[in-house]
Amino acid sequence: MKAKIAGIALAAVLAGAAQVHAADINVCVWGTITGPDALVNGMAYGARDYFEYLNQTAGGIEGNKVKTLLLDGRYKLDEEQKIYRRCVSEENAVFINGWSTGAVKSLRSQINSDAVPFMTQSFASDVLDPKNLPFIFMAGPTYEQQLIIALRDLAAKGGKSVVIMHANNEYGRAPVDVVRKSGQIEKLGLKLADTIEFPYDTQDLTAQLLRVKSINPDLVYVQASTPQVLVVLRDAAKVGLPAKLFMGNAYNLSPAIPEQLTKDAEGFRTIQIYSDYGSDIPAMKDIAAFGAKNPIEKKDPYYMKGWYEGIAMAAAIRSAVKKAGGVPGDIVAFRKSVRDEMEALQALDVGGITPPITYAGHQGTTQARISEIKDGKYVPVGDWIRAE
């Protein structure tokens, strides 16, 4: 009798263990749900929603439910550091989707030693180094590559000269310095007519824009945040320069620009890496199906970035689970396997959000296209352009 009870108990324990084992894929997403960067927090919601979509439509990944924890880093370094440790040691996340450049830079050596796959929202080239930072992945071209894409577009359209305006901080300076020193501008047959630096908290750029007007370039690329782009375009209109002359980076694809500047923003162009929400692409059908049963917090290109990241992370996790014949019990081995599978992703279809992605270089895609404000809305103009 005792042996029978022990047998039943053992079977129950094993069955329980197997159940837990099958449901244990933890993914951690943190964004700026509240805080200064909340305008673009669709990225965090998009990633979370994709995993939830998999749970609802496919029973998770290979039959294993994904537990996605969405946390608010509030764009505060201490909060993000805390969340990272929670994700690694308490939640046993197999993949982390983190937020600010500052946090990723401060955590990069720990990400290495924890050996946890990390999808960063940053486009800073400092955190892109497949050799020395093998666990950090990015979701698109770096700021430098975005600038090169703009220059390629200019060269393809027969332009000859470019002026670069940038803020006087590292976000403004660093990418411009890298591109300038690389000789890419000259290789494309272009002339860098001038580089104009301005204070990152500028309120008036009339003098600088009068200088631009006297140079009369074919393109003015602005490497700055949206509040500064607003000042640039406002003062450009003041001195009689059309918005069509100016182009910003991927984070300037902000509705605030057409909303605040109305007609003065018409023609302004930005780098667009991800298709807009509502585009006629296959991924949008999945999003619409998800949206029919669930609320969608943000309906913008940043949400699409999050959805793309969800697809990429899920694909790597799926491959690792398939290879192991189930969810590995050892989280260290599971993370290592997911990293390897992430790096092995080749031409993965992301439903048209971007062209198919390959993660050997830890970026997924190095392509983007140009989007232009037409009638108060961003409209993609032209096809995808490669940075390399």
Partner 1 sequence: MSLRQIMLVLAAAVAAALLTMTLGRFGAFIVYTVAIAATGALALNLLIGWCGQISFAHGALLGVGAYTAGNLGNAGADMSVALIGAGAMTGLVSVLVGLPALRLRGLYFGIATLAAQVILEYLFKLLEPLTHGISGLLIEPAPLFGLAVRTDRAYAAVAIGVLALCAIAVSRLMQTDLGRRFLVIRDSEMVARGMGINVARTKLWAFLISGFMAGLAGGLLAFTTRIAAPEAFEISLSVDYVAMVIVGGLGSIAGSIVGACFVVLLPETVQRLGELVGISGQVSAIRDLVFGLLIILFLIFEPRGLASLASRSARRLVAFAARRRAPGDTRPASDKGKTPLKAA
Applying CB under 8 A, which residues contact partner 1? 33-34, 70-72, 74-78, 81-82, 85-86, 88-90, 101-102, 105-107, 109-110, 126, 169-171, 174, 200
**Smallest separation, CB 89 to partner 1 (Å):** 4
**Smallest separation, CB 187 to partner 1 (Å):** 28
Nearer Cβ to partner 1 (143/359): 143
Nearer Cβ to partner 1 (41/208): 41
Nearer Cβ to partner 1 (193/296): 296
**Smallest separation, CB 167 to partner 1 (Å):** 9
**Smallest separation, CB 78 to partner 1 (Å):** 7
**Smallest separation, CB 180 to partner 1 (Å):** 18
**Smallest separation, CB 155 to partner 1 (Å):** 30
Match 């001038």 to its residue by tokens.
Answer: 194
The three state secondary structure string of the chain is CHHHHHHHHHHHHHHHHHHHHHCCEEEEEEECCCCCCHHHCHHHHHHHHHHHHHHHHHCCECCECEEEEEEECCCCHHHHHHHHHHHHHHCCCCEEEECCHHHHHHHHHHHHHHCCCEEECCCCHHHCCCCCCCCEECCCCCHHHHHHHHHHHHHHCCCCEEEEEEECCHHHHHHHHHHHHHCHHHHCCCEEEEEEEECCCCCCCHHHHHHHHHHCCCEEEEECCHHHHHHHHHHHHHHCCCHHHEEECHHHCCCHHHHHHHHHHCCCEEEECCCCCCCCCHHHHHHHHHHHHCCCCCCCHHHHHHHHHHHHHHHHHHHHHHHHCCCCCCHHHHHHHHHHHHHCCCCECCCCCCCCEECCCCCECCEEEEEEEECCEEEEEEEEEECC
Give the span between the Cα atoms of 148 and 362, in whole angstroms.
19
Residue 69 near residue 34, CB atoms below 8 Å: no
**Smallest separation, CB 87 to partner 1 (Å):** 9
**Smallest separation, CB 270 to partner 1 (Å):** 22
Nearer Cβ to partner 1 (200/384): 200
Nearer Cβ to partner 1 (110/195): 110
Nearer Cβ to partner 1 (108/339): 108
**Smallest separation, CB 41 to partner 1 (Å):** 11
Nearer Cβ to partner 1 (88/151): 88
Residue 213 burial (10 A CB sphere; 0-12, 13-18, 19+): middle
Nearer Cβ to partner 1 (71/368): 71
**What is the distance of C-alpha 172 from the center of its chain?**
18
Nearer Cβ to partner 1 (69/348): 69
